[in-house]
Amino acid sequence: MKIQILGMGCASCKALYKNTEKAIKKSGLKGIEIEKVEELDEIMKYGVTSTPSFVINREVITSGKLLKVPQIIEIINQRVIK
């Protein structure tokens, strides 16, 4: 599983990245890669109009939201179960 945080370095983007790191650690799941995407050209490829955006395996899950750690864990678990 690959998680990408789309955003150009705003406080919310940085916070979402940190929350995602915490969620991955708390979930105990292995094999989850996390990546920051800060280049505007790359962000635009996803068609998002606001950041931060939370992406799993190239699918935009949320845009313009700062997810909390429990929310991220729930989203990850839903994807693992599928």
Please, which residues bridge with residue 7 across strands? none
Q: Which of 8, 9, 10, 44 is catalytic?
A: 10
Catalytic, 14? Answer: no
Catalytic, 10? Answer: yes
Alpha-helical segments (H) within the chain: 11-27, 40-44, 69-81
Q: Which of 3, 5, 6, 13 is catalytic?
A: 13
Instruction: Enter the DSSP assignment of 69.
Output: H
Catalytic residue positions, numbered: 10, 13
